[in-house]
Amino acid sequence: MGEFVRLEVEAGVGTIRLDRPPVNALNNQVQRELAEAAKEAGERDDVRAVILYGGEKTFAGGADIKEMAAKSYVEINTFGAELQASLASIAELPKPTVAAVTGYALGGGLELAMTADRRVVGDNVKVGQPEIQLGIIPGAGGTQRLTRLVGPSKAKDIVYTGRFVKADEALAIGLVDEVVAPDEVYAAAHKWAAQFANGPAVALKAAKAAIDGGQDLDLRNALKLETQLFTALWATEDQAAGMQSFIENGPGKAEFKGK
C-alpha cells in the first residue's frame, strides 16, 4: 500500500483509491504507486474487476504543475515516459475496469479516467484537457485515447481550447458512459464491476485483449487475433463448464472458477 494510492479488495472487486489531497495531483510518487497498485490488481486472483476512484470530492485535478515546471528538458523526457508507462499499466489491466469520477477529471486526471474500460461520473462533473493553457499538449494519452473515444474533430476542439466539458456533453459525445447523482458515483461503478466478480475471468481477459488489440490492427489481422483468442478458450475449465451448463440448464446459469 502506497502513501497516496492503495488497493482495497472486497468480494472480487478491487478499488484503486487515489488519496493525495486536495485534488489528487499526479506527481512522480503517485504515478509510481498507481503502477504498483495496477500490478498487484492484475496479479491477484481474488480481484476480478477494478474501480479507479479519487474519493467523494474529486477524481484527479491533473499533474503536479509545480513539479513539472521545475524539470529540465532532459528530466521531462524521463518524466513523460514514466507517466505514459504508469497510465498504460492501468489501461493494460487484463480485467474489466471502471473509473468512478467525482468533481473534476482534468489533464492527467482525465487521461487516467480514459484508461478505464468505462467511466461513471457525477452530474456535476467537469472534465477536460486544459494543457494548452500552459503552452503544452496532453502527454499521457490525451491526444490519443480521447481521439479514439470521441473522434478527431471533437478531440481537437477539446484539446485546442482547453475548455471544461460538463457531464451532459461528455455523455453525448461518448467520453463518459453513465451519469448519476454525485453521491451515487461509486455505488454505480461498483454495481457495474461487481457483475464480473464470479465471471469467466479468462474469457473476459480475452475479450479485452481482442477489443483493445484489434484497434491497432487492420481488420484482416484483427480478425486473426480474435480467432486466436477465441479458440484458446477451449483450454479453459470455464469454457467446458459454461457450455455444459447451457446444454443442461439454459443460458446464464453457469458457475465459473476463472480457470
For residue range 229-253, list pLDDT tens digits in order: 999 999 999 999 999 999 999 888 8
As a whole number, the mean pLDDT across the chain is: 95
Q: What DSSP letter does each residue of 82-144 carry, written as one string?
A: HHHHHHHHHHT-SS-EEEEE-SEEETHHHHHHTTSSEEEEETT-EEE-GGGGGT----SSTTT
pLDDT reported for residue 31 = 92
> For residue 250, what are the CA distances in angstroms to 111, 153, 187, 241, 246?
41, 45, 30, 12, 4
Task: Copy the grid coordinates of residue 177.
Answer: 458512459
Domain layout of the chain by residue ranges: 5-194, 201-249
Question: Which helix H or strand E contains 166, and what residues bound it?
Answer: strand 165-166
CA 134 to each of CA 37, 56, 127, 131, 197: distance values in angstroms, whole numbers, following the listed order: 30, 28, 17, 5, 42
> pTM to 2 decimals?
0.94
> Tens digits of per-residue pLDDT, 177-231?
999 999 999 999 999 999 999 999 999 999 999 999 999 999 999 999 999 999 9
Find residue 98's DSSP bridge partners: 51, 118
Asked if pLDDT for residue 84 goes beyond 80, the answer is yes
Residues forming the active site: 111, 131
Q: Grid coordinates standing for 186?
A: 461509486
pLDDT of 188 = 98
Could you report the per-residue pLDDT of 114-127, keeping only the tens digit for each?
Answer: 999 999 999 999 99
pLDDT of amino acid 238: 94
| Confidence (pLDDT) at 36 | 96
Residue range 134-168, pLDDT digits in tens: 999 999 999 999 999 999 999 999 999 999 999 99
Strand 165-166 relative to strand 126-128: parallel, antiparallel, unpaired? antiparallel
Model confidence over 48-75: pLDDT tens digits?
999 999 999 999 988 888 888 999 999 9
Residue (of 26, 20, 15) closest to 4 by Cα position: 20
Task: List, in sequence order, every residue forming a beta bridge with 51; answer none if it has no partner.
Answer: 15, 98
Q: Under CATH, which number does the domain 201-249 receive?
A: 1.10.12
Which pLDDT score is estimated for 1? 76
Whether CATH 1.10.3720.10 fits 5-194: no
